[in-house]
Copies of this chain bind each other. A is one copy, B any other.
């Protein structure tokens, strides 16, 4: 029974891994928790606590062997193998995401781009052809898609999510400003740009008032 890992820990692990891979490229042999703390925007103690939840990867007095720790972190995060994803919504956000090179670099393979708009269906996006969202279930099943990026209007998000889940998708990156209801075996990450802007508005307002 694995203990609960907090969301903030997971985010920091991403940062550690990014730093480790940069160090790997440079041929740095070992790093200290202090080095990783800088990458993760945290403290050395926090880094060690984070890592200790998964095992003991360092050597006292020495630090951590970069290739070994990077490999272990990739395994822990499930990034030691590619993920097959599908992009639903071929609007502007969808187009930007599809062109975003870092997804592919990180091992997220886009198996399909889907939309409901007849104007968009059939368009060529690089080597990908936009397909009909009516075929969502079949495509997810046939191409073994495990994650879906939802870049559809809020009004369609829940329905598309339900269908994707029923076809076997287990992770959803949701750009629609809606709280999706999904079964517990499914994970959802929400990206809500208006909330981010409103949080900035709050912060700035508070700083302007309170000092």
Residue of B at shortest CB range from A39? B179
Residues facing B in A171-211 (CB within 8 A) are 171-173, 177, 179, 185, 187, 189, 191-207, 209-210
Q: Point out the residue from B7, B95, B102, B206 that lies within 8 Å of A194, measured CB to CB.
A: B102
Chain B nearest CB, measured from A4 CB (Å):
10
Is A23 engaged at the interface, CB distance under 8 Å to the other chain? no
Is A78 engaged at the interface, CB distance under 8 Å to the other chain? yes
Q: Do A193 and B103 contact each other (CB < 8 Å), given the known contacts A78-B201, A201-B78, A204-B170?
A: yes
Residues facing B in A154-179 (CB within 8 A) are 170-173, 177, 179
Is A99 engaged at the interface, CB distance under 8 Å to the other chain? yes
Chain B nearest CB, measured from A24 CB (Å):
17
Are B106 and A197 neighbours in the complex by a CB distance under 8 Å? yes
Number of copies: 2
Are B78 and A205 neighbours in the complex by a CB distance under 8 Å? yes
Is A114 engaged at the interface, CB distance under 8 Å to the other chain? no
Residue of B at shortest CB range from A108? B197
B-contacting 9-mer, from A10-18, A43-51, A55-63, A128-136: A10-18
Is A83 engaged at the interface, CB distance under 8 Å to the other chain? yes
Are B14 and A195 neighbours in the complex by a CB distance under 8 Å? yes
When chains A and B are docked, how far (Å) is the Cα of A146 from the Cα of B95?
29
Is A97 engaged at the interface, CB distance under 8 Å to the other chain? yes
Are A200 and B173 neighbours in the complex by a CB distance under 8 Å? yes
Chain B nearest CB, measured from A10 CB (Å):
5
When chains A and B are docked, how far (Å) is the Cα of A187 from the Cα of B202?
10
Are B103 and A202 neighbours in the complex by a CB distance under 8 Å? no
Q: Point out the residue from B77, B99, B192, B203 that lies within 8 Å of A198, measured CB to CB.
A: B77
Are A193 and B100 neighbours in the complex by a CB distance under 8 Å? yes
Are A200 and B189 neighbours in the complex by a CB distance under 8 Å? yes
Chain B nearest CB, measured from A177 CB (Å):
7
Is A25 engaged at the interface, CB distance under 8 Å to the other chain? no
What 1/0 mask marks residues of chain A from 81 to 109 whose CB sits below 8 Å from any chain B CB?
A: 00101000001110111011011001010
